[in-house]
Amino acid sequence: MIKLVFTINRETLQFLVKDKNVYYTDRKWKNWVQCIPKDPTLIKKILMSRNKIPLTLVRLFDLSEKEQAEYDNAKDDDALSSIIIRDAKLRGLLLVRKEVE
């Protein structure tokens, strides 16, 4: 299990990589949300939040076919976390901490 903590615009985002699944949380979510593979109820959860959670979060986890194949072909959690770190840096996030358990 690998926990990644990022910041962007003084906002903290956390990702958890466990058994080749990626979970996400921030200060607005109470619990971890599965983002890769995408939770089928994610859009419903965002809509039911009544604009507490921005709809842009859905676009954050939309992956192209090439990106999805790259995530699917990752050998283990460490390789998957490296891909997440690379993609996060491309989107302007700063890595604060990487915890390996």
- pLDDT tens digits along 32-90: 888 888 888 888 888 887 777 777 677 777 788 888 888 888 889 999 999 999 988 98
pLDDT (0 to 100) of residue 41: 83
Tally of structural domains, the chain: 1
Print burial letters for 65-93: b (CB count within 10 Å at least 16), e (below 16): eeeeebbeebeebeebbebbbeebeeeeb
Query: Alpha-carbon Rg of the chain, whole angstroms?
Result: 13
Q: 5 pLDDT band (50/70/90 cuts)?
A: very high
Per-residue pLDDT, 64: 82
Boundaries of domain holding 86 = 2-100
Residue-level pLDDT at 40: 83
